[in-house]
Structures are given as C-alpha cells and as structure tokens.
A and B are shown apart, each in its own frame.
Chain A
Amino acid sequence: MKIFPRVLWWLAGGFFLAGVFSGGFRFVFSRAASLCLSCMGLQ
C-alpha cells in the first residue's frame, strides 16, 4: 500500500500532460468560453 500514493502522483502528472498535449484544454475552453443557459437555469 505504500506505493499507492506514488502511483497516483505519476498518474496525475501523466494524465495532465497527456491532456495538455492531446488538446484536452481546448475541450475545456470550448465548453467554458460560451454562456451556459443550463447553469443559469434557463434551459
């Protein structure tokens, strides 16, 4: 069990970098850069 948190750190870094280099941040941007009617309770 001692190894488990270390694996999580590697996974965190790996996922984050994979997300950045695969353009995952663009997915975030595409959702976050437009007004959301659902958030406001209007849709």
Chain B
Amino acid sequence: MKKRNFIQFLIAIWANSYLGFLIEGGIYTGRLKNLCFPGLNCYSCPLALTAPPLRILQHVMAPLRTLPVVALKGALYLTGSLLLYGLLLGRFVCGWICPFGFLQEMLYRLPLPKVGLPRALRFLKWALLVGLVLALPVAFKGETGYGEVWFCRIFCPAGTLEAGLPNLILEPQLRSLIGGLFYWKVVLLVVILLGAILYLRIFCKLFCPLGLIYGFFNRLGLFRLRWQEKNCLFCGLCEKICPMELKIPQELNSVECIRCLNCLNSCPTRSIELKRSFRLESRLDRLPFSVTEKRHAFRREDF
C-alpha cells in the first residue's frame, strides 16, 4: 500500500471511529460533531465523529428564506471552514483525506477490465453543485417549511452506504420507511461502486460537488504545482500515471487535479514541484506549454 493510501486509510478510520453505538445505540452526539470534516463522510453513519460540509451547506441553503439569521450564523462558520480547508489544502482533501475517494481507489484495484469515459461528462458535477446543492434547497420548501437537502436526499451514495444500510441493519423499526427513494439510492450506489471498479474515481470525476468546490482553490490556495520546462524530458510519464487523466503541464492547477502528487513522484527529473504561494497563479505558471507543444510531441516520440 502506498504512503498516500495508508494516510487515507488512517483518516477514514479516525473519522469513523465511534463505537459507542454498540452500547448506547444511535449516532455520535459529542463535541466533535461541531466540526466540519473536509471530505465526503455522512454524519448519520453510526461510526461518524464529525459533520460533512456538503450536507451543512445544504442545511444553510434550506432555511435561507424562512430563517435567514439562523442560516447566516451557520453560513459564517461553514464558509470560514470551507475557505480555510480550500486555501490550506484545496483538493489535497480529495487525494489524501476523503474516505469515499479512498474506497473508490481500493475498488479500482480489483483485477477487472477498465474503461474510459468522455471528458464532457465531468460537467455533471457542475449541474449537481448548482442544482441540487445550491439552488433547489432554497427554491423549494418541504412540509416543514424549510427547503430539502436535495443532493443528500436523492443522490449522495455515501449517505446510502454509510448511513442508510448500517442504520437499517441496526434499527429494524426504520425498515417500515423503505420506499422507492431508498431503492433508487441503492441502485445508484451499486452503479457508482461498480463504476469505480471499472473507471478510477468515477464519483470524484463526474459527480462530486465538494471536490469541485475545493478545485476552485487549486489556483488560489497555499500549495501549487509548478512545471519547469528546462528539466523536463517530455516522456509523458506524468500524464500516464495521473488518476484524473489530466493534460500535464497545462492542467497541473486545474479544478480537476486531486493533488495525489503521482506526477511529482513519478517524474525522473523532478520537473514538477510543489510550491507554496500566497499570490494568484500568474499567467506564466499557467501557459508555459502552449509555445512548446510541437516540441513536446516531437521529443515524446523520440523518447
């Protein structure tokens, strides 16, 4: 197991280390539930210690029309937490912290045929972020007078896997509530988990709104990747090993990069570096490749 996978494993275990449900039943209600855990990890999981920001974001949007002051307090805390996670870590959260990302990477290791998917499908996560996470919770009120948490309700596979299935096993009285919506979520979960076996990090690439939010910080956050043309052999090893199938170096700091650092570690000449920066990524950082594209192709063939 790689060092990064081991760190993912340890964090996933820590985030889901509450065993009190075996004695007391129910979910954890201690002080750590005040904290936003940066990754995708459902708080209704009997083992979960913390709250996930995506769910809280929907909870902030839901009462925005009816209880704006209450929502504002939560919004301040959530926005501050998301900005700090984004600026400090960016999509390092996806590559090193998120338990659902770790699960997908482990599933992809199963020795089954692998497939490719069109890159245009990655725009689906924009629709999920804007539609289900931001717009619908504000737009539609439920029976309680608040908006619904639409992404968690009709889409989130982590909720079905970590909360739905375990709680139905532990609390039989909940089984009377099973209906069409639950079956839909189970089918979706199975499709996504099977998809993860065939296509690496299918949920991160196509569907994850949280990863998209952190992706915006890849050009703004503390850590950026930089490519040094003078050292590069143009061997293309970095592109081959990239789990997100990015064009390197053009997309080193794009919203899609999950900061796994595979490119950096695989580079024989260390021409990709992780730099700290407090300034906005300059044009020089972003566009060194356009002028050398032909040379790149030529030297790669030569290699």
| Chain A residues within CB distance 8 Å of chain B | 1-2, 4-6, 8-9, 11-20, 22-29, 31-43
Contacts and interface: CB of A to CB of B under 8 A. Distances in A.
Q: Is the interface of A mostly helix, strand, loop or mixed?
A: helix
B218 interface: no
Contacts, number: 162
Interface stretch (B67-75, B96-104, B286-294): B67-75
Contact of A24 (B26, B29, B75): B75
B27 interface: yes
Contacts of A42: 164, 174, 177-179, 181-182
Contacts of A11: 83
B282 to A, nearest CB: 9
B84 A13 contact: yes
B74 A12 contact: no
B43 A36 contact: yes
A17 B34 CA distance: 14
Given A27-B77, A29-B33, A41-B185, A8 B177 contact: no
28 contacts: A2-B280, A5-B279, A5-B280, A12-B80, A13-B80, A15-B79, A18-B77, A19-B76, A22-B77, A23-B73, A25-B35, A27-B59, A27-B74, A28-B34, A31-B51, A31-B74, A32-B51, A33-B27, A36-B43, A36-B149, A39-B44, A39-B159, A40-B163, A40-B174, A41-B181, A41-B184, A42-B177, A42-B181
B87 interface: yes
A5 B73 contact: no
Given A8-B220, A29-B33, A39 B80 contact: no
A28 to B, nearest CB: 5
A16 B33 contact: no
B84 A39 contact: no
Given A24-B76, A43-B177, A35 B26 contact: yes
B74 A24 contact: yes
Contact of A40 (B33, B50, B83, B164): B164
A38 B279 CA distance: 41
A21 B21 CA distance: 31
**Nearest 10 pairs of A and B residues by beta carbon:** A19-B77, A16-B80, A24-B77, A27-B74, A15-B80, A12-B83, A32-B51, A40-B164, A19-B76, A39-B159
Interface in B157-216: 159-160, 163-164, 167-168, 174, 177-179, 181-182, 184-186
Report the contact-size class of chain B (Cβ under 8 Å from the partner).
35 or more
A18 B86 CA distance: 18
Contacts of B35: 25, 28
A20 to B, nearest CB: 6
B47 interface: no
Given A8-B83, A19-B78, A32-B43, A27 B153 contact: no
Contacts of A41: 153-154, 159-160, 164, 181-182, 184-186
Given A19-B73, A39-B164, A12 B149 contact: no
